[in-house]
Structure 1
Amino acid sequence: MSTTYRSLLRWSPRALGAAYAVFISLFALDVWGTGAGFWNELAAFLIHLLPVYFILGALVIAWKNPRVGGILFIVLATGFGLAFGRGEIVTLLLMAMVPTAIGLLFIGDGCIDQAELRPRM
């Protein structure tokens, strides 16, 4: 595999995972300005960031072990789809398809790593 494609396969799931975490974290900003008081709004903000915590945890694991992290991203996509995607196809696509694609890219990266480690005959 050429160096350019190898580098693209290595860094694209990492960049997409970080960008996805930032994108999902933007939805937590809607709790500010509700008039519920600072501490209640802060608690709601931290709770709304729970999906981002899971994404960042999977990203940290995937950085060290891409195959396991890829499986975690697919598990997260399934959980997000079940939790948030009921009845809304756009929400399902947003919450489930992106982490599935990131997971598949991480699995591909891990498989290429494994293939490069095997001795050639």
Structure 2
Amino acid sequence: MTGKFIRLLLVIGSVLALAYALVLFLLAMDSFESDTIALRDILGFGIHSVPSLIVMILALVGWKTPLWGCLGFFAVAVGFLLFFGGGYDTISFTMITGIPLVLAIIYAVVWFASRKNMKEL
């Protein structure tokens, strides 16, 4: 793989990770239950925002070190699999656990390809 393709794959993975974090952040807004905002709503929003913050941090880490991005997103996928394992329909379950798994694969490909290119130089 060429260096440009590896860089493009890294950009695609990072943009997808940030878009996924944005979706999780928007889903966290369901913690606001009424028209008025109370302390309980703000605390609930903070707790529901933790997964999106973790995904954002992993996107930044994966940008610099794809191996850690791969391992981190794989851990997120396994964690979501264990936490959201039952009681959800297939599409929701796939969105919650499948996207981090795809991100882990993208970062793994970037890491393997960049290592191969380093050895060829």
In structure 2, the residue matched to 1:100 is: 101
In structure 2, the residue matched to 1:16 is: 16
In structure 1, the residue matched to 2:40 is: 40
Uncovered stretches (5+) of structure 1, i.e. residues with no partner:
none
Aligned pair count reads 120
The structure with higher relative contact order (CA 8 Å, sep 6+) is 2
CA distance in 2, matches of 1:110, 1:2: 13
Percent of residue pairs bearing the same amino acid type: 22
CA distance in 2, matches of 1:79, 1:3: 32
Contact 1:14 1:63 in 2 (8 A): yes
- Return the letter of the residue paired with 2:94: L
Query: Residues 86, 92 of structure 1: CA spacing in aligned structure 2 closer, same or farther, 3 A cutoff?
Result: same
Query: Residues 54, 91 of structure 1: CA spacing in aligned structure 2 closer, same or farther, 3 A cutoff?
Result: same
User: CA offset at residue 103 of structure 1?
Assistant: 0.8
Contact 2:10 2:63 in 1 (8 A): no
In structure 2, the residue matched to 1:54 is: 54
Query: Residues 2, 117 of structure 1: CA spacing in aligned structure 2 closer, same or farther, 3 A cutoff?
Result: closer
Give the RMSD, CA atoms, in angstroms.
1.9
Query: Residues 47, 36 of structure 1: CA spacing in aligned structure 2 closer, same or farther, 3 A cutoff?
Result: farther
TM-score of the superposition, structure 1-length normalised?
0.87
In structure 2, the residue matched to 1:87 is: 87
User: CA offset at residue 33 of structure 1?
Assistant: 4.0
